Amino acid sequence: MKYDSTRWPFVTGALPGTGGRIRDELADFVVDEVRDEPPEGTGDHLWLRVEKADQTTQRVIGHYREALGLDGDAIGHAGLKDRHAVTTQWISLPAACEDRLDAVPPMPGVRVLERVRHPRKIQEGELRGNRFSIHVRGAAGSASDAEAVLRALAVTGVPNYFGPQRFGAAGDNAERGLLLLRAGRKPRGWLDKLMTQAVQSWVFNDWVTARLAAGTFATVLHGDVAVKHETGGKFLVGDPEEEAPRAAAFAISATGPLFGRKYHEAQFEARAIEDEVLAGLGLARDLFRPLPGSRRPIRMPLADWTLEPTDEGYRVGFFLPAGGYATAVLREIMKVEPEPPQAK
């Protein structure tokens, strides 16, 4: 289970890629968190919209926690943002901290853009998605090649692969997580959780590949657990022919398994494909009992994409729903896995 980007194919494989590289500079990769509703302006929590550059979300939260003397779970955030980028996101603090906020020492690369009260703490996963703006430099292909891929993805959807960062800088997170699962050990701490989630992610990516190979990436099968893209609601597909128009209109999509002890289980034809993927890896469903289970859409809609040629390549912008990896879009455009940022 050593990470290899060539294991998981492109949905736009018939179209040429541009090649290129990203993250020459921090401003080449910009991420802005998008929420459904802004904070209300009153309440017992103080929401901060924070811009950070070359800092992890965990380090920013740790800085405020230490400076304000807060408990470990007192600060809320919806998700983690890239370190090697310029990103904005909301974090929440107890409102009682507001009077002491100006005394918090400055942190390199971090600034607070807004402060607003709200009745609730921010919960993990509580966001609509993220807006990306990424400069691809040194592209051998043209911006028109990139545009052709973007137009195709807007129709088919983007394969919702987990990106390389899920599998670690050395690409061995899944290998290490598998050792934990085979030892029957429940994850202890965030590192164990990260490793075992990488195993779930690996199996999910293989399941997406199996559906692509079977020509059922953009359709639903008997027994699929499908998701309604507008509401997030899930249901078991009884008659795939009846649901075909909604799948074709991108109103619904199949979801794949993040195996665990409790989740919506597929049935019939859809379950058989999951079993084939597990068998191909020499794994069984029971192996994942120490983990909570979930499901993940097979594809993401590509919304509001933009493309601007530059002197060194092009800058591409797009919105992805929560949990989506920008690398899933970039690898389709570039036809190579974007190189991970190098530690400095």
- Which residues are designated catalytic? 82
Buried b (16+ CB within 10 A) or exposed e, 186-214: ebeeeebebbbbbbbbbbbbbbbbbbbee
Measured distance CA(229)–CA(175) in Å, rounded = 33
Closest CA to 136 of 23, 13, 12, 30: 23
Write out the two tokens for 290: 């120490």
